[in-house]
Structure 1
Amino acid sequence: MHLHRKIVILIAILLLAFLAKGQQQDGSVLERRVTLRIQDQPLESILAQISWQAGVYFSYDASVVDSEKKCSVEAENKSLFTVLNQLFEPAKYSLIERENQVIISLKPDKPQTDEAIADSIPVKYFFLSGKLLEDRKGKPVPYASVSVFNQPIGTISNSDGEFLLKLHPDNINDTVVISSMGYAQIRLPASKLLDEDLFILQPISIRIKEVTVTAISAQKLLENIRHNLERNYTAHPRLMTAFYRETVKQDGAYINVSEAVLEILKSPYVNTFRSDLVRLIKGRKSPDVQPFRWLNFKLQGGPFTIVQLDVVKTMESFISKAFENSYKYEVSRVVLYHEEPVYVLTFTPASDDVFPGYIGEMYVHRESFAIVHASFRFNKSSLNEAVSFMIRKKPPKVKARPTYVQYSVNYQQYQGKWHLSSAQASVKFKIRSKRDRLNSEFHSVSDLLITNIQPTELKRFSGDERFSRDDVFVEKLGQFDEKYWENYNIIKPDEDLRNAFKEK
């Protein structure tokens, strides 16, 4: 039996209880919507009407703002940002927030120094939210990428197609890119997201008929992947900000929700022997989700383990030259992925002796040969063998077996290099206990979303602050509190998860 490097989510079954509560987010007051139809009225009067509708106050120097100037404005459910930029030239005036107040002032002739910025009023981020729907059927588009063009800033939509993107005011005029496989890409100024709630994605054909997929063999494609690793992926360390969420359902009902903002010290891709390090910035567990009477799950390894899903960095068995003969490969087709042509390289274990044996596919960029997506699952024989190493703890006389183990990982390009952008692990277990009359299915899902990437000179995190493979994530977290995430980008909870967060 071949024993490959294992990408597994270790499960510990313990007696434990949790609860959950909802959350509130406060973004910029400039996101608030107003409706106005005003012709030739003094600016002072228009601001008074906006103030009444939006519940904000305006301050300005009468020597630089002509409050008697007559203006016209028409806006149907538009953001304050849009309306005020109609009334005040963006190149000339600044809009500065201070709690529930908007200060209108002339922009300085010279850019502020870093010291002046540090001493100024704290910046309020824009919280841009919306819902993605398919054009033809009006169905939600889940897990679509919503990111700032050519910036390492972004999020993804949840299972209901909803997203929340938090942007610094300096990025509000940047371009936001909304993309999902099988749909035409949307590009629009970030400020447009302040005025719109629904975004319609147009389905497109993802298969490229004119490309002959037999033009390259699976073996040659694998060689090109490995040969171009240094060119496609960064050779320098990076400090990544990430959002991580663990959820556990028992028979379809949430029993555990845990979330955190993390920092990942990403070692160079060319050094596969140097592990990536993970540390907690802030995290919480939801204390109101009522567990089943007998059992609860804990995911062991948590963020440390899911970071190992970067299969390019770890050179997982289905990529590694050393294990190439353990798999059968096929270039099945060429499709459009985020409007770029990619080869779809499928793989299956060559025999049942391969353990863990993965069935899956990789999307390989046709021009650069970078892996941009991989999804894979345990085959049947590996599921049968997985009990011995996936179950770390369980009560006596309880039988547990995995029935489904699925992983996926995505990459995005930034400054000419491909980086890890998101990963997910989905594991289902069947639990039985005659003594407790228990026959349940537990489903754990772990999501990782990279929300920012920066160069770094850091070499390591201290031992007491970094996660290890033996850590149980929920044991490191505090309880829920309001307005928890501040300006960090997260995956917006879907409706079921929001219901799980509601106070009982």
Structure 2
Amino acid sequence: MKKLHPLKLYVSTVISVFLLFFSLNAQTDFVEYTGTVIDGQTNKTLEAASLNINGTNIGTISNSEGEFILKVPLSNSDSKVVVSLLGYNTYVVPLSELASGNTTIKLYAAITKLSAVSISAFKDAKGLVRKVFDDKNKNFQNESVFMTAFYRETIKRRSRNVSLTEAVVNILKEPNGSSSRDAIQLGKARKSTDYKRLDTVSVKLQGGPFSTIYLDVMKYPEYIFTEESINAYQFNFDAPTTVNNKDVYVVNFKPRKNDLKVNYNGKLFIDVETLALVSANYALDLSDIKKSKNLLVRKKPSDIEVYPLEALYKVDYKAKDNTWYYSYSNLSLKFKVNKKRELFNKVYTLSSEMAVTDWEVNKDDKRIKNKDKLRPTVIITDAISGFSDPNFWGEYNLIEPDKSIESAINKIKKNIEKQEQREKENTVNGRP
């Protein structure tokens, strides 16, 4: 039987919904570059565009509004930035051209000229997908790697933010061919949760960064395509596309008969030259309401029912020296909570994303100490406390917050300022 992603909901009294699912030496002197990535023809902002410093592993991605912040060590200030996105021509720009701040970077859709001969190299799309997973140890990371990544999770009730958690994490990424699971260490982190807006429902993500790392289907194929489950899907070729100026096969997949406990629909993007997975976008099949009711629930009170309304997943990889590495993943879950004897149901959206901002091969076989390891069942909002000033992240790269998150952060800052002012007044007036 195919396994569900380790994303499970805990529902407790104030419902608690929990979804299952080393630092690299930071530079002390850096320059910060900001801007927006847009489509050069439509002017539409482009989400999840990758920005990497040429010749290094330092990078970031654009947010849902195309905006980015890229922090670069002074030693790399003469470098160039490689900007790439699936379906677009790669753009290379000197850092000096971004120095003015709030630069607009235009990407143009790529015209793919992949011949029918190239596609016909495989009898069917299913054969290509099997080849991708059979060759994963050849194409993907086969050594231990230390990664620094930025992690963010947000919870909204309807359209209002009720919880925000951000963290820099250190990941010991084990080889894809190894049976060892990846280890994660919490670095710098901050959170804010408005429990008043959560009302009688408290939503928390169990697993935190593990919720995104387990979307690495090349390391954890058992969560989507097992030898057994792959036969339960039908695959077909879609129009090819391009990433980093390289041709990419596009393969659609969907369940044949929906007879698995968990079914997905989605697309796989496969590099034509290496047959490595470049990206995967997929969604949980929620067409059968009876089957999906409480599907993501691990534990809940008897008077609660949880209905998933949407479950979207994405993972991206990057290549260096003909080897592919995990780069970015996100999930977005929307669900409705019904409680008996309550007139109105509650709708929540939970988003979680992680972007690798730097990495290095673990040549000395260093390990993360057991006492420093996050547990895969950790509730990261319970593991951290407090929010802080605008310079909290210092030299660490992060995903620029979108306007709704920025608004939430500004409200948090104002509340902190008010609290500090009250404390100052109490001190002056001699009150405890």
Q: Give the TM-score normalised by structure 2.
A: 0.85
Aligned counterparts of 2:83 and 2:367: Cα–Cα separation in 1: 34
Compute the displacement of 1:320 (Å): 3.7
Matches within 5 A, 1:19-58: none
Counterpart amino acid of residue 308 in structure 1: Y
Matches within 5 A, 1:219-368: 219-271=126-178, 273-287=179-193, 291-316=197-222, 318-368=224-274
Compute the displacement of 1:317 (Å): 5.8
1:208 paired with 2:116, answer: no
Match of 1:167 in 2: 72
Q: Taking structure 1 as reference, are residues 243 and 231 closer, same or farther at Cα in structure 2, changes over 3 Å only? A: same
The runs of at least 4 aligned residues of structure 1 exceeding 6 Å deviation read none
Aligned counterparts of 1:255 and 1:196: Cα–Cα separation in 2: 31
**CA deviations over 1:390-419 (Å, ceiling 9, x no partner):** 223445523211111111100001233100
1:165–1:489: 8 Å Cα contact kept in structure 2? yes
1:277–1:304: 8 Å Cα contact kept in structure 2? no
Counterpart amino acid of residue 476 in structure 1: A
1:5 paired with 2:36, answer: no
**Largest Rg, 1 or 2:** 1
Compute the displacement of 1:180 (Å): 1.9
**CA deviations over 1:154-190 (Å, ceiling 9, x no partner):** 1111111110011111111111011223333220112
Match of 2:407 in 1: 499
SS in 2 for 1:131: strand
Aligned counterparts of 1:444 and 1:380: Cα–Cα separation in 2: 17
Aligned counterparts of 1:237 and 1:382: Cα–Cα separation in 2: 41
1:218–1:330: 8 Å Cα contact kept in structure 2? yes
Indicate the larger mover: 284-293 or 438-447. 284-293
Aligned counterparts of 1:335 and 1:393: Cα–Cα separation in 2: 42
Indicate the larger mover: 250-259 or 374-383. 374-383
Q: Taking structure 1 as reference, are residues 317 and 142 closer, same or farther at Cα in structure 2, changes over 3 Å only? A: closer
Aligned counterparts of 1:227 and 1:352: Cα–Cα separation in 2: 25
Structure 2 residues not aligned, in runs of 5+: 17-25, 416-432
1:150–1:415: 8 Å Cα contact kept in structure 2? no
1:195 paired with 2:193, answer: no
Sequence identity percentage: 28
| RMSD (CA atoms) | 2.4
Match of 2:397 in 1: 489
Aligned counterparts of 2:239 and 2:106: Cα–Cα separation in 1: 24
Equivalenced residues, count: 398
Aligned counterparts of 1:416 and 1:269: Cα–Cα separation in 2: 15
Q: Taking structure 1 as reference, are residues 223 and 400 closer, same or farther at Cα in structure 2, changes over 3 Å only? A: closer
Counterpart amino acid of residue 44 in structure 2: K
Match of 1:99 in 2: none
**Which of 345, 351, 355 is residue 449 of structure 1 equivalent to?**
355
Match of 1:373 in 2: 279
Compute the displacement of 1:134 (Å): 2.4
Structure 1 residues not aligned, in runs of 5+: 18-117
1:463 paired with 2:370, answer: yes
1:287–1:480: 8 Å Cα contact kept in structure 2? no
Q: Give the TM-score normalised by structure 1.
A: 0.74
Counterpart amino acid of residue 127 in structure 2: K
Aligned counterparts of 2:288 and 2:355: Cα–Cα separation in 1: 28
Counterpart amino acid of residue 137 in structure 1: T
Aligned counterparts of 2:136 and 2:45: Cα–Cα separation in 1: 35
Q: Taking structure 1 as reference, are residues 224 and 399 closer, same or farther at Cα in structure 2, changes over 3 Å only? A: closer
